[in-house]
Amino acid sequence: MKIPRFLLTAGASGSGKTLVTCGILQAFKNRGLDVVSFKCGPDYIDPMFHAKVIGTKSANLDTFFTNEETTRYLLTENAKDADIAVMEGVMGYYDGVGGIATKASAYDLAKVTDTPAVLLINCKGMSVSILPYVQGFVKYQKDSHIEGVLLNQMSPMLYPRVKKLIEEELHVPVYGYVPRVEECRLESRHLGLVLPDEVVELKEKLNRLAEVLEKTVDLDGLLKLGNSALDLKVQTPDFLKQVEKKKTEKAVRIGVAKDEAFCFLYKDNLELLEKMGGKICYFSPLHDAHLPANLDGLLLCGGYPELFGKELEKGESIRQEIKKVLEQGLPVLAECGGFMYLHDTFEDMQGKVCRGVGQIPGKAYKTPRLSRFGYIQVTSKERKLFGKTIDSCPAHEFHYFDSENCGTDCFAAKPESSRGWDCLHATDTMLAGFPHFYYYGNPELPMAFLDRCRTYRQQKKVVSTEL
């Protein structure tokens, strides 16, 4: 399949990848192009910024979560018929699993998808030293896939001379420069960038940046580079072929928490639930008084409940409703912030104690640093999740909060490490804890969840008939 594409990467976090990616997306969008975007790795927030620009949801591509075939499938599924696909890298280009491998790095994604990469260089405080910096990245791996550079925070006066040096001495194309655009900075907080809806006049700022990039970046050259990407050979994963055969079954209604407090949702997770026979019914624990009617399951994702603790506490009716249906056996999958919300109490950012749903005994509390961070392999000690035998599932954790009751039904093993810890509350109807799951990593997990939802619906029918 022909997918015009390139990957924007950098030598380290904090190099300006997200801002520059959004500026390029906006410039392409302003030209009338049909643009799709991807974030390398498990990040939730950067794709939200992409989505604000392109007007549709951005997706993740993560080679820790998915094998090579599935990664290419997800790329083509999300990018088919687009004029250009732009991928944003993660951390430094070669930084992968465990801090000691290139697995799951931006480089790994470029290799798996055979995508040309453009290295964004933070040039602040450098001139000629940029050359050995570029040379090191290009030559570190023989198949580096780096086919150009883009110079960030570069002086307009210095740019022509540095471009000439790089192209004449290293024979690496330079696709322009990004001057310092002070009014377009993006602020951060404890889990990364602030959410795009919180940035004042974000659209105006990105349009101003796009206007600058039209003058300083070789956008035509980037489009040509994207069109030079080789066709991809793609196969549909076998499990999806089996899912297609089950589409005759009535869809199960899954209540999905979605608002300012619960916003960490993977686009591909929700779409996979729908492919497997789920009907997504959004609701807001922050703003709604009641759950959607006739639910067969509940998904409480991560986000920022700690920023809205007292507001969530005031939603007493929906908290009591959630507790009631969970006690009646409604299946629930709760991750990180959603898990915190299920506690008796949880602390907000100021350390104030707020009432939660009360389904998980104990308190979730704020810590001064990242409690656990990075990729993990999660294995049920009983080898069962939602009553089904399931192998280990790839997941990740990233949180400044902890719990008096994290759960002990599963074990989280750090890849490329001897570290690990107990985690998660796992019963026939619940999986709740700090880990975030990407469903394509082990499709048996969402399948088991939906099967349990179908069982719950059938049990409801039996009880209703008896009454």
Find the catalytic residue in 123, 336, 393, 410. 336
Cα–Cα dist 190/179, whole Å: 27
Can you name the residues that pair with 244 across neighbouring β-strands? none
Cα–Cα dist 445/451, whole Å: 10
Task: Report angle CA 380, 386, 391 to the nearest 5 degrees.
Answer: 40
Do β-strands 401-403 and 360-366 pair in parallel, antiparallel, or remain unpaired?
antiparallel
State residue 12 phi and psi, 5-degree precision: -165, 160
Could you please report the per-residue DSSP string of 356-412?
--SSEEEEEEE-SS-SEEEEEEEEETTSEETTEE---EEEEEEESEEES---SSEEE
Residue 336 annotated among the catalytic residues of the structure = yes
Counted residue by residue, the chain has a size of: 467
Question: Which residue in 144, 129, 30 sits closest to 92, CA to CA?
Answer: 144
Give residue 426's identity as a one-letter amino acid code. Answer: A
End-to-end alpha carbon distance in the chain:
56
Question: Which residue in 386, 334, 339 sits closest to 362, CA to CA?
Answer: 339
CB 440 within 8 A of CB 70: yes
Angle in degrees, 0-180, between the axes of helices 17-30 and 219-227, rounded to the nearest 10:
90
CB 86 within 8 A of CB 25: yes
Cα–Cα dist 399/434, whole Å: 8
Angle in degrees, 0-180, between the axes of helices 106-113 and 68-79, rounded to the nearest 10:
80
What are 20's two structure tokens?
């520059």
Q: Where are the alpha helices (DSSP H) in 114-264?
A: 130-140, 159-165, 202-216, 219-227, 238-244
Cα–Cα dist 361/364, whole Å: 10
CB 210 within 8 A of CB 33: no
What are 143's two structure tokens?
């198949």
State residue 221 phi and psi, 5-degree precision: -65, -40
Which residues are annotated as catalytic? 336
